[in-house]
Amino acid sequence: MRLSVLDQSPIAEGSTGGQALHNSLELARLADKLGYHRFWMAEHHATPSLASASPEILLALLARETRRIRIGTGGVMLPHYSPLKVAESFSMLSALFPGRIDLGLGRAPGSDPLTAFALQQDRGQRAGHKFPEQVAELLGYFDDNLPADHPFRHLARTLAGGREQPEVWVLGSSLDSARLAGALGMPYCIADFIAGEAPELAEEYRRQFQPSARSLQPQIIVCCWLVAADSQQKAERLAAPSRMMFAQLSQGRLIAVPSPETAIAWLADNPVRMPGNRQPIVGTVDFCREALQRRVKLYGADEMMLVNILHDHRDRMESYRLIAKAMLA
């Protein structure tokens, strides 16, 4: 089974965004050595807890500092951007690192509504939802097959990468994303850590799938929350900061990643219950391995992608190291 990493560049309380980005670079080097298949950077805006506002900026450095692992975005939030600009950026990356660049595309804002509005170039009105049309235009640049009467058709031939292009994925946590990925014949990454266990997304994707030049058959990555440690008690302790963060987020408050001690004390006074189907994988290596294998079967996944937010970067490195030793050795 392939294992991959989704990183969000978490900013620990008392640390800085710069340090968080350097931590991401160190984690990518480790993932490369351990045998992980991909290393993707997320996109989040205007938050004190995550430094990954422009993931594509990091990709060239990540690719240069690693040897074989695929490097990509999980994802680029396409509604914020011009499809041509995204095509140019990822064509350049593909030219520099052929066969190693992934472009995961999301439709969520990765931010609150006001920040999403601030990201728009034209603020005369809020942007509409045109994600399918944006994806079609973006793919048209890569494949040089925009309609003959399209005003931008000739721009496809100006991309720096030429025939080199990224592997493009649709990301999602809804039936709409599953249907779009299937109809376009594109690989699909399911955000289990957002949607909770949702095998119906995989089922709908397979029902709608139309073979294409990009993918002759369905391809599914499932991205789930996982914290591994050498004991259940330690794993629960390490997971406490993210539980506190999400509880605060649900109340409209954004905070840096607190220490386990701060989080445990806060949670004692503010009990948090996760929705029934949203169950992060937190525990010993044996527990995590069994849980991952169960989700592979649940979704029929080809690949599992792991994400977590921990206060201490060393603990985060160790979590990925433990799982790799158990499942990639």
Of the ranges 106-115, 141-150, 312-321, which one carries the lowest mean pLDDT score? 106-115
Q: What is the pLDDT of residue 312?
A: 98
C-alpha–C-alpha distance, residues 201 and 325, integer Å: 30
C-alpha–C-alpha distance, residues 261 and 240, integer Å: 9
| Domains along the chain with CATH numbers | 2-225+303-308 (3.20.20.30)
In the chain, % helix, strand, coil (3-state, to 5) comes to 45, 15, 35
C-alpha–C-alpha distance, residues 307 and 300, integer Å: 19
Average pLDDT of the segment spanning 296-318 = 98
Average pLDDT of the segment spanning 191-204 = 96
Task: Name the phi and psi angles at 150, rounded to 5.
Answer: -70, 130
pLDDT at position 203 over 70: yes
Q: What is the pLDDT of residue 73?
A: 97
Q: What is the pLDDT of residue 111?
A: 64
Q: What is the CA radius of gyration of the chain?
A: 19
pLDDT at position 320 over 70: yes
Task: For residue 130, name the pLDDT band (cuts at 50, 70, 90).
Answer: confident
Average pLDDT of the segment spanning 304-318 = 98
Q: What is the pLDDT of residue 212?
A: 96
Average pLDDT of the segment spanning 149-165 = 95
Give the pair of three-digit tokens for residue 137. 């235009």
pLDDT at position 127 over 70: no
Average pLDDT of the segment spanning 71-87 = 94
Task: For residue 194, name the pLDDT band (cuts at 50, 70, 90).
Answer: very high
pLDDT at position 2 over 60: yes
